[in-house]
Structure 1
Amino acid sequence: MTNLEFSSAAAASAPTEPDGGLASLRGDCARMVPHWAAPDRAAARPVSPLLIHGVRVPARSARLLEAMSDYGD
């Protein structure tokens, strides 16, 4: 069993977020930006249906997807 009772002095001195919070995370990310290299954006090429194999979709799922609109239901 865990005792969740705190003294008011201990609660007042404890940080609100154990890892420093969002501002600390954003600062860490900003310092790491020079170390990250973004690859050049390559155009996506279509894949030939002949290369797609081993995927089986149940008929019931295929009918459900076929009946949905392009933007979802």
Structure 2
Amino acid sequence: MEKPLRPPAEPESLDQLRGDCARMAPHWSVTSPSPVVVPVPPEALRGVRVPSRSARLLDGMSEYGD
């Protein structure tokens, strides 16, 4: 009897996740050119609000909160 397939383990760090994505990137096809990204000056971000729940989530992640 064959063993059931197990789902892949969750990444344990942001670096591991980025590495996993980099290894998968050659398998993805690009159908359109990348959009031009124009930096936005901080002054233009007035009125942007981050929900406290989201801020706490990021604060609890060592890659972001430390």
> Could you say whether these structures have the same fold, taking a TM-score greater than 0.5 normalized by the shorter chain as the test?
no
Q: Which has the higher contact order (CA 8 A, sep 6+)?
A: 2
Larger Rg, first or second structure (1 or 2): 1
How high is the TM-score relative to the length of structure 2?
0.31
